[in-house]
Amino acid sequence: MIHLIMDTFLRYLKEREQEQLVKILSFMFYIFRHDDLKEMLDSNKDSLKLEAMKRIVAMIARGKNTSDLFPAVVKNVACKNIEVKKLVYVYLVRYAEEQQDLALLSISTFQRGLKDPNQLIRASALRVLSSIRVTIIVPIMMLAIKEAASDMSPYVRKTAAHAIPKLHSLDPEQKDQLIEVIEKLLADKTTLVAGSVVMAFEEVCPDRIDLIHKNYRKLCNLLIDVEEWGQVVIINMLTRYARTQFLNPNINESLLEDSSEKAFYASDDEEDEDKKAEAAALVKRKPYVMDPDHRLLLRNTKPLLQSRNAAVVMAVAQLYFHLAPKAEVGIIAKALVRLMRSHSEVQYVVLQNVATMTIKRRGMFEPYLKSFYIRSTDPTQIKILKLEVLTNLANETNISTILREFQTYIKSMDKDFVAASIQAIGRCATNIGEVRDTCLNGLVQLLSNRDELVVAESVVVIKKLLQMQPEQHSDIIKHMAKLIDNIQVPMARASILWLIGEYCEHVPKIAPDVLRKMAKTFTNEEDIVKLQIINLAAKLYLTNSKQTKLLTQYVLNLAKYDQNYDIRDRARFIRQLIVPTDKSGALSKYAKKLFLALKPAPVLESPFKDRDHFQLGSLSHLLNAKAGGYQELPEWPESAPDPSVRNVEVKDSVCARRTVLTGPEGAGSVPVNMILLAHLTESDSGSGSESASASDESGSGSESEESGEETESEKEEEDEEKEKKRKKRLDKTKAKKPAEESAERCAIHTSYQINTIAPSGSIKMYELLHRITGEGLAVEYCFSRQPFSPDPNMVAVQIQFTNNTNSETKNLHIEEPRLQSGMRIREFAEIGLQPTGESVTVVMGIDFCDSTQAANFQLCTHTRKFFVSIQPPVGELMTPVFLTENDFKKEQGKLMGMNEISEKLTLGEKCVNEHVIVERVTATANLSRVPCGSDKECRFAGKTVSSGCLVLVTVTTKEGGRAQLTVNCEKMVIGTMLVKDIMQALSQ
């Protein structure tokens, strides 16, 4: 249609105006061209919308501009169809930057999404919101990130960590606030978050190493369970961290190395090394002792060498290279050699790093020499890198095999590779004196090769070799002088001329003749050759002026009028220097000394030398130049910074309570109930997906910290235990632990417990199924008082199955719950298999609707079904709430009258002090203590799990063992029952 209009108009218009019109119309066409898509997007049918979105996304993928559709697309951001929605997100993120105002229309949808009860929807809303690069929403983003960082779900917290660098790149001014969020997330105890937050740390504030101290041990211990990409980032960061915090483990050896480097390389066996280390230790001031945290890092990264992900293996390898004692670095060689089987791009990067490593630590790759042999099918760049490695690995013992190998390479069809091989031979010859003559002979033979490139390369290399001992090799120089007639490669010609000039005294007859020939062809030579001709002429003039005076003059005259100013310059300079004139300067006396000075032989060095000042495996190392955002690998400190910064403090209040609880018994012997408690939390994580995340929750939600008084040995064991934990997590069937270990673990976990719940005397186990009625299967349960993460309105019930039968029990699960209306059950994941004699612990959630009605259900195994019921004591229907004294008073004021129940009672004989009262009350009900000014009063606060009604308890002691108990609660039934229970507990 538009074309038609255009044609009609054009017919009536003059030529000059036409041009203008064409512009206008083509613009209109540009606007209308997506009309059909707009129509589809406006339709009511999801299928049409989807089709339109698919076409738009396909256009985006091809790089076509579809920004004019923005308004039509954004309307659909709230579409019910999930695929349409996702594609709209794709579009939105792509174009929001260009259409800032319109993009704002969509923000409210995401803000709503952030409040959704489903964690995955919350996460995806945050993800898209933070990807919209519109500066005006920075405050909204900041708020959303902060909120998400303290979300219950670790997945949402992970997304928050991802959002941090996005916001930082959008508005760097938010850095300080973001660092606060990072600090908070770094303390997170879940593996899901760890990788992402370290990534954020690296991008936003990589220099804030102080934020890592407290989390260092935790990161080390979590490492193995973090997803592979996170592992890479964490390992790289920890490498840098370790360089600032620990001492160089090779400090003694590096001092020794200076004096006897050669000898050291020659004997690289581990035994020898140990001896050396010992000797060094004796000589040096003080023996080196590795920081246990340093050891922890090395030990926990080692298993990751077995990862299938090349990036992880490389990260561990570089960590060992930069941090491990010399004797231990060797273990990475095998893994790196394994990576060479991978894709050629991986090979390329690995070989670059191996090349750098072989310069510093040759011994480690020597056993794998043959893995670096070159195949004719390797790409050239790989061949050249392998050659580099082989050259670095060459020493007196293996040089003969390496040279034999090189000989076959010279016959290759790949000429670039042949040239590199010749250079490699040259380097071997300079490095290893014994084979110099052999190499030289081999290279001289190559001079008769038919391929000019080969000959040229050989000439260049021979020149370098000859410089080392020219006297014995005048034959070779003569031979090369003959070559000048045939070789055309400038570099080779220049090298020959230089050689003849330098050693003209060894070939007095030939040299002038060469100069004669060169003078003839001077004008046609390349610049480097011309320069060398001038050099040759000058040197000959100085040694043999009789024969060459005229030739030299001629050459200098030619050079005087050369096009290249370098050559003109050189000619003028040399003429002044060597040709004696009246006013020749003071320098001309020294001309001979200047030209024919003894020149030091060139050292053929690997291009990879000294590359290790870049962190291996990094982009900067590969490019041998600093890439943007590269963090220098710091030098080892002279003396170790205070290691105690990594000790994790326990918060004051908690600490105090802890001493009350475990103080008298000491760390070694912990009350049995605590062991049980710790054991339960521990085995939590081993019981299927739901419960695992539950325990993760509790870990992070409570912000509990490891004890500050931990000794070194504890740390070590803790880390071993983590290892085991990982195995066990998968290994659902194995929940047993040696007693010592659980005691150990207990010491660590006590603080978790203390922080989440008020210190209680013990957790009571209830029987669900007796061993006899259960035909060998005994089931017990307890109320763990942990928040139940999948659903915060449920009470967590920990169930322990013990299989006392002679056979395995299979498929333990729940069926047919019969519940009062409103009650809900979240079943535990089915236990597939339970071997004889083992016990398994799982967690299930029950929403009791704040009533003490029993939850009835069937417990099924593969053979039998048992009817069981769980009836909660009223005290377990609540969770602790932390209130201040003022808040408590205020809330209590609101719950007067009918909501207040007060009873007088006489305290039991043992209730002599406040401490016992607190213990009794918290044992009866899951409440937390509220600070109180008066020592006659104890206050407790909590809320019901299901409906969140406040429960306030006050115990006022009076003289003569009498006391008054007051409970304020909106739910009168709960209140009454609680009063009864607490009275009973206190009057015992």
Q: Which of residues 207-236 bind another protein (CB under 8 A)?
A: 224, 227-229, 232, 236
| Six-digit token string for 370 | 């043959």
Q: Does 81 bind another protein (CB under 8 A)?
A: yes
Q: Specify whether the CB–CB gap between 536 and 551 falls below 8 A.
A: no
- For the record, the structure tokens of 15 come out as 């030529």
Q: Which of 34, 122, 166, 464 binds another protein (CB under 8 A)?
A: 166
- Alpha helix (H) residue ranges in 205-250: 216-222, 228-245
| Interface with another protein in residues 428-457 (CB under 8 A) | 449-451
Q: Tell whether residue 737 is a contact of another protein (CB under 8 A).
A: no
Nearer to another protein, 351 or 941 (CB): 351
* Least gap, CB of 68 to another protein (angstroms): 16
CB of 207 to another protein, least distance (A): 14
The nearest distance, CB 952 to another protein, in angstroms, is 36
C-beta of 380 vs 820, nearer to another protein: 380
Q: Is 62 in the site for another protein (CB under 8 A)?
A: yes
Residues 234-293 that bind another protein (CB under 8 A): 236
Q: Between residues 45 and 770, which has the closer beta carbon with respect to another protein? A: 45
Applying CB under 8 A, which part among 90-98, 212-220, 255-263, 550-558 lies near another protein? 90-98
- Examine residue 618 and tell whether it contacts another protein (CB under 8 A): yes
What is the token pair recorded at 644?
A: 């105690």
User: Does position 152 bind another protein by CB under 8 A?
Assistant: no
Closest contact distance (angstroms) between CB of 833 and another protein is: 5
Judged by DSSP in three states, 93 sits in helix
Structure-token pair, residue 942:
């909590």
Q: What single DSSP character describes residue 524? A: G
In whole angstroms, the minimum distance from the beta carbon of 25 to another protein comes to: 29
Between CA 330 and CA 324 the distance in angstroms is 10
Among positions 380, 400, 659, 836, the unique one binding another protein when judged by CB under 8 A: 380
Which residue in 26, 108, 260, 376 binds another protein (CB under 8 A)?
376
- The minimum distance between CB 564 and another protein, in angstroms, equals 27
Residue 611 as a binder of another protein (CB under 8 A): the answer is no
Q: Which of residues 665-724 bind another protein (CB under 8 A)?
A: 685, 689, 692-693, 723-724
Q: How far apart are the C-alpha atoms of 836 and 215, rounded to whole Å?
A: 40
Q: State the minimum distance, in angstroms, from the CB of residue 527 to another protein.
A: 24
808 half-sphere exposure, CB direction, 13 A CA radius = 8
Strands 824-826 and 839-847, by their bridges, are antiparallel
Identified binder of another protein from the candidate list 313, 399, 465, 504, rule CB under 8 A: 313
Distance CA 492, CA 554 (A): 24
Does the footprint of another protein cover residue 43 (CB under 8 A)? no
User: In the set 315, 531, 559, 846, which binds another protein (CB under 8 A)?
Assistant: 315
Q: HEC string of 766-781?
A: EEEECCCCCCCEEEEE
Q: Which phi-psi region, left, alpha or beta, contains residue 816 (left: φ > 0; alpha: ψ -120 to 50)?
A: left
Q: Do 781 and 800 form a contact (C-beta atoms < 8 A)?
A: yes
User: Which of these ranges, 29-37, 341-349, 600-608, 850-858, lies near another protein under the rule CB under 8 A?
Assistant: 341-349
Residues 806-825 that bind another protein (CB under 8 A): 810-811
DSSP category for residue 63: T
The backbone torsions φ and ψ at residue 724, rounded to the nearest 5 degrees and listed phi first, read -65, -35
- Burial class from Cβ neighbours inside 10 Å (0-12, 13-18, 19+) for residue 488 reads exposed
Going by the DSSP 8-state scheme, the letter that residue 934 receives in this structure is -
Restricting to residues 189-208, which ones interact with another protein according to CB under 8 A?
192, 196, 199
Which residue shows structure tokens 């937050």?
A: 197
Determine the interface stretch with another protein among 36-44, 365-373, 662-670, 969-977 (rule: CB under 8 A).
Answer: 365-373
Residues 6+ apart with CB under 8 A from 633: 239, 240, 243, 322, 613, 614, 615
Backbone φ and ψ for 946, nearest 5 degrees, come out as: -75, -50
The span of 29-37, 41-49, 142-150, 551-559 binding another protein (CB under 8 A) equals 41-49
**Three-class secondary structure assignment of 713-727:** HHHHHHHHHHHHHHH
Q: Pick from 173, 261, 665, 731 the residue near another protein by CB under 8 A.
A: 731
133 contributes a contact to another protein by CB under 8 A: yes
Least Å distance, CB 743 to another protein, is 21
Contact 860/909 with Cβ under 8 angstroms?
A: no
Give the number of residues written for the chain.
988
- Name the burial class of residue 111, with classes exposed (0-12), middle (13-18) and buried (19+) by CB atoms within 10 angstroms of its CB: middle
User: In this structure, what DSSP letter does residue 581 have?
Assistant: -
| Least gap, CB of 265 to another protein (angstroms) | 23
CA distance 738 to 213: 31
Question: CA angle, corner 35, sides to 33 and 38, nearest 5?
Answer: 130
The answer to the question of residue 87 lying near another protein (CB under 8 A) is yes
Among candidate residues 419, 439, 421, the one with its CA nearest the CA of residue 431? 439
* 47 counts as binding another protein under rule CB under 8 A: yes
Say whether 714 sits in a helix, a strand or coil: helix
Q: How many CB atoms lie within 10 A of CB 230?
A: 24
Of the candidate residues 623, 645, 656, 912, the single one contacting another protein (CB under 8 A): 623
By the rule CB under 8 A, 122 interacts with another protein:
no
Contacts of 803 (CB under 8 A, 6+ apart): 776, 777, 809, 834, 835, 836, 837, 838, 839
State which residue, 604 or 829, has the beta carbon closest to another protein.
829
- Decide if residue 335 touches another protein (CB under 8 A): yes
The least CB distance from residue 283 to another protein, in Å, is 37
738 binds another protein per the rule CB under 8 A: no
- With binding defined as CB under 8 A, does residue 165 bind another protein? yes
Would you give the binding string for another protein spanning residues 406-425, x where CB under 8 A is met? Answer: --x--xxx------------
Looking at beta carbons only, is 187 or 349 nearer to another protein? 349
Which is closer to another protein, CB of 28 or CB of 625? 625
The pair phi, psi for residue 309, each rounded to 5°, is: -90, 120
Does 970 interact with another protein (rule: CB under 8 A)? Answer: no
**Tokens matching residue 164:** 């941090």
Task: Decide whether 200 or 466 has the Cβ nearer to another protein.
Answer: 200
Q: Does 131 bind another protein (CB under 8 A)?
A: yes
Question: Which residue in the block uniquely carries the two structure tokens 């080196």?
Answer: 288
627 near another protein (CB under 8 A): yes
Q: 869 - beta bridge partners?
A: 856
- Binding segment toward another protein, per CB under 8 A, in 159-167, 254-262, 461-469, 476-484: 159-167
978 is written with which tokens?
A: 């609680």
Q: Using CB under 8 A, pick the residue from 9, 288, 554, 630 that binds another protein.
A: 630
CA nearest to 247, candidates 196, 294, 284, 298: 294
Residues in contact with another protein, shown as a per-residue x/- string from 384 to 403 under the rule CB under 8 A: --------------------
866 contacts another protein (rule: CB under 8 A): no
Residue number, 194 or 855, with CB nearest to another protein: 194
Q: Does 60 bind another protein (CB under 8 A)?
A: yes
631 binds another protein (CB under 8 A): yes
The torsion angles phi and psi of 937, rounded to 5 degrees, stand at -115, 140
Give me the helices (H) in 522-579, please.
Answer: 527-543, 545-560, 565-578
Taking the least distance from each CB to another protein, the nearer of 192 and 529 is: 192
- Binding residue (CB under 8 A) for another protein from 266, 281, 453, 622: 622
Q: Which stretch binds another protein (CB under 8 A): 59-67, 545-553, 893-901, 915-923?
A: 59-67
Give one word for 379, left, alpha or beta, with left for phi > 0 and alpha for psi -120 to 50: beta
Q: Which is nearer to another protein, 22 or 833 (CB)?
A: 833
